[in-house]
Structure 1
Amino acid sequence: MRALLLQVFYSNPVAHAWDELREKFFHNRVLHSLYALEEQLTLTLNTLELDPGRVNSIVS
């Protein structure tokens, strides 16, 4: 049986990545459909995929 390890927000790399997405790519944006949200998220993830150094600095 595995136990779940609870982490505080600032020590969780996924939380850092999500915070970066919200601040840099979705800040003060109103998206009028789920399709628009999907398009913005795709653009965001593609941008981050092309910059692994940035991703590494976010999650470490």
Structure 2
Amino acid sequence: MKRIVLPLLALFLAASALAGPAPWFQWRSKLNGALTCSQTPLGPGWEKTAGPYRDARCEKLIVAK
């Protein structure tokens, strides 16, 4: 059992170490037009307006290669 579990655990840890952070997006309120920056959807009252960004201030765009 250890011969299977240990290599799988090592593979999982190596893969998670290579993962990058989630991108940020700019969201606009449908109610009053307010803007905010978030990595996750804020709900049905918000629409995604710009992104993806590298930072939490939605200033540094991620450039597609």
TM-score computed with the length of structure 2 as normaliser:
0.27
Which structure shows the bigger proportion of residues in strand conformation?
Answer: 2
Greater gyration radius: 2
TM-score computed with the length of structure 1 as normaliser:
0.29
